[in-house]
Amino acid sequence: MRVLVTGGAGFIGSQYVRDVVSGAFPEFAGARVTVLDRLTYAGNLANLDPVEGGFDFVHGDVCDAGLLAEVVPGHDVVVNFAAESHVDRSIASAGEFVRTNVQGVQAIMQACLDAGVPRVVQVSTDEVYGSIDAGSWDESAPLAPRSPYSAAKAGGDMIARAYAVTHGLPVSITRCGNNYGPYQFPEKVVPLFVTNLMDGLTVPLYGDGGNVRDWIHAADHCRGIQVVAERGEPGEVYHIAGTAELTNLELTQRLLDALGAGWDRVERVPDRKGHDRRYSLDDTKLRALGYAPQVAFEDGLAETVQWYADRRDWWEPLKKRAEDAR
């Protein structure tokens, strides 16, 4: 068994690689893993240190069709995590998001088709649906993205589905909510708030703080992806729902409590442009295949906070590099 993980040095991709290599998924026991990653600002080989030597690494771009034609053949499963994913960055400059999240997906799908890869998984996001006031989306909900990031992800999903319908490519799509856990680049809300609070800094809270997100540990997200990789139907979409639906105010309070800080450390900032109010996924379809989350939010958040407390060596250089680049 050979598994190619594109974007495998990023936050969620590296979680998946660590899980496969460490034997967390019995069906993939002993699999040879290839990681393809461009190592942009959010890609970091240090994310894979716990399984160093357990995978082959290729430094490259998913938009490079020639490289994909060399790398993809011979793999039994391809899981595509490669994506630009920060909404604020997409609002400021959308071009790279369209390039990686749409053109990159097309290049991967074509390479998989040419190589006859038996199983492909396109990893996506709940943000492609826009915003929902009440209830939860099922997989038949219409796509209505509201940011350049989510629009690009929706475009990539449509490309993947087109390859399934037109060419019979055995690709399934997963969509998940907000992830948290170790090795998350510190521009995202949980590591940003945790590391700022550890350093005695303030944390930014958008608008009225009433935006609602459904949180899931990256390890549970990867368990859902694995179920789809093993048992998902080609051309189908599968939701991986979170385990804690919280407003940003509620999340902020939990992080303040975890770090022993008060609301005087919170700085109210203008709301993000086009800020989606609420996301919520119905994952009945995936649970019917045997999926169930294993990480309770309270436990996962506590472990995540402790990880950042213990791993200044990992996140401090990243924050300094980002500050120096401004």
* pLDDT tens for each residue of 161-203: 999 999 999 999 999 999 999 999 999 999 999 999 999 999 9
The pLDDT assigned to 150 comes to: 94
- pLDDT tens, residue by residue, 221-270: 999 999 999 999 999 999 999 999 999 999 999 999 999 999 999 999 99
CA distance 282 to 176: 10
* CATH superfamily, with its number, for domain 2-180+218-240: NAD(P)-binding Rossmann-like Domain (3.40.50.720)
Report residue 202 CA to chain centroid gap: 26
pLDDT at residue 154 is higher than 80: yes
Model confidence pLDDT, tens digit, residues 266-325: 999 998 888 999 999 999 999 999 999 999 999 999 999 999 999 999 999 999 887 766
CB distance 46 to 17 below 8 Å: no
Q: What is the model's pLDDT at position 94?
A: 83
Sheet holding 77-80, edge to edge: 56-59, 32-37, 2-6, 77-80, 119-125, 171-176, 237-240
pLDDT at residue 229, as a whole number: 98
Mean pLDDT over residues 75-95, rounded? 90
Res 93 pLDDT > 90: no
DSSP-derived letter for residue 121 is E
Q: Name the percent of the chain lying above pLDDT 70.
A: 99
Catalytic site residue from 19, 84, 126, 214: 126
pLDDT score recorded for residue 87: 87
- In the residue annotation, 129 being an active-site residue is answered as no
Q: According to the model, what pLDDT value does residue 326 have?
A: 60
Give me the percent of the chain exceeding a pLDDT of 90: 91
What are the residue boundaries of the structural domains of the chain, listed by start? Answer: 2-180+218-240
Catalytic site residue from 127, 157, 214, 283: 127
Average pLDDT for the chain: 96
Handedness of CA 240, 244, 250, 251 (dihedral sign): negative
Q: Can you give the pLDDT at residue 267?
A: 97
pLDDT at 164: 98
d(CA 36, CA 187): 23
DSSP secondary-structure letter at 234?
T
Model confidence, pTM: 0.96
pLDDT at 88: 82
126 is catalytic: yes
* Distance between start and end Cα atoms, the chain: 44
List the catalytic residue out of 149, 180, 183, 308: 149
**What are the distances in angstroms from CA 252 to CA 126, 183, 270?**
21, 20, 16
Q: List C-alpha distances in Å: 225 to 11, 65, 80.
A: 14, 25, 11
Q: Specify whether 233 is catalytic.
A: no
Burial of residue 147, with CB atoms counted within 10 A of its CB: 0-12 exposed, 13-18 middle, 19 or more buried:
buried
Encoded tokens for 303: 């472990």
Assess contact for 186 and 180: CB atoms under 8 A. Answer: no
- pLDDT for 325: 63
CB atoms within 10 A of CB 284: 12
